[in-house]
Amino acid sequence: MVNVKFLREIVSIIQKGLGSDETFGAIFDLLEKSVPFDSATLYIYHQKADRLEIIHQKGEEIVDLAQEIPFDRGNGISSWVSKQKKPIILQSLVKSRSGKEHRFSSFVSMPLWVGDKLVGVLNMGHQEPDAYKRIEISDYEIVSSQISIILDKIILQKQLREHNRLLKEALNKLKRAQKQLIEKERLAAIGEVVITVNHEINNPLTSIIGLAEILELAFQTGKHEKVREGLRGILKEANRIRKVTHKLAEISSCESKKYVGKLRMIELTG
């Protein structure tokens, strides 16, 4: 049944790096050339749930026996076979129960192991008796070992894609959070500038307004000395504002200090 060409083609399937459905389809097509079957069903083992799940099928029937009987990993004989290390071959089911609907007359179930790790179960069924012979069990062991390697590789690739997807999502979330943080810091910096300008310019501006009002009264009463004092005060406060604007224009780093409550303002030095 199993020959060098079969093994070479199995290796070729692995090397092609096809998608899971394409790979399983290619495996089943190859199996059909070497091992007769009317239907074949491939189960994958989920370790966390400790359950078997159908991952690929060829033919109209799900290949399993005693599907109404519960076992540890689900209904059907596949659950029981998953705890074995060697293929289970039922040469002829003609005189015994051949499944609930008598669908198969010959049945083989291969547990798929990679070392001590169970990766799945492969079942094949044939309507003719003696399609699978116990004397060929070594061939089925070779088949199961090769398919185990392929299935394990597909599972690892799927896990890697999922990890990459989660990593990409986490990276995108991090970028969004970083962008939001930068925007928040930018708005906070703008707020500090506004508070600084308000604090540094509002005081001299208030003085200028007050002096202007005094000048207007002094001008009307003819008190020229008061006018001169007022002008000097206006010039002083105007120069103060000019110094503040120059310092704002020359800022190279923003060190802030507490202003009122939780508000902060930029510290202008020099």
We report the CATH number of the domain holding residue 186 as 1.10.287
End-of-domain residue from the set 166, 190, 212: 166
Calculate ∠ Cα 184-186-191, nearest 5°: 95
Question: What's the whole-number mean pLDDT along residues 135-141?
Answer: 89
Domain, as residue range, for 38: 4-166
What is the number of residues in the chain? 270
**Same domain? 101 vs 228:** no
Give, for 58, the enclosing helix (H) or strand (E). Answer: strand 51-58
Burial 106-130 (b: 16+ CB within 10 A, else e): bbbbbbbbeeeebbbbbbbbbeebe
193 and 236 assigned to the same domain: yes
Q: Are residues 80 and 32 in the same domain?
A: yes
User: CA-to-CA distance for 122 and 111, rounded, in angstroms?
Assistant: 7
Kindly report the CATH number assigned to the domain that includes residue 39: 3.30.450.40
Instruction: Let me know whether 161 and 178 are in one domain.
Output: no
pLDDT in tens, 64-96: 988 888 888 888 899 999 999 999 999 988 765
Contact 250, 238 (CB under 8 A): no
- For residues 211 and 182, membership in a common domain is answered with yes
Q: Which amino acid is at 39?
A: S
Could you tell me if 12 and 102 lie in one domain? yes
134 and 210, same domain (yes or no): no
Domain count, the chain: 2
Phi, psi (rounded to 5 degrees) for 2: -90, 130
Residue 60 has pLDDT above 90, yes or no: no
**Residue 236 and residue 189 share a domain:** yes
Domain boundary among 166, 192, 224: 166
- pLDDT tens digits along 169-205: 999 998 998 888 887 777 677 666 767 776 777 777 7
For position 19, what pLDDT does the model report? Answer: 67
pLDDT at 79: 93
Residues 6 or more apart whose CB falls under 8 angstroms from that of 66 comprise: 75, 76, 77, 97, 99, 100
Q: Please indicate, yes or no, whether residues 53 and 27 belong to a single structural domain of this protein.
A: yes
**Same domain for 229 and 124:** no
Position 98 scores a pLDDT of 43
| Cβ-Cβ contacts under 8 Å for 26 (sequence gap 6 or more) | 13, 16, 18
For the chain, the 3-state helix, strand and coil shares in percent, each to the nearest 5, are: 55, 20, 30
Top pLDDT among 183 and 101 is at 183
**Chain mean pLDDT for the chain:** 80
3-state secondary structure (DSSP) of residue 157: helix
Helix (H), strand (E) counts: the chain: 5, 9
Residues 130 and 195 in one domain: no
Which domain-ending residue is among 166, 186, 220? Answer: 166
Q: What is the pLDDT of residues 22-42, one digit of tens each?
A: 778 887 887 887 788 999 999
3 state DSSP class of 89 = strand
Same domain, 60 and 111: yes
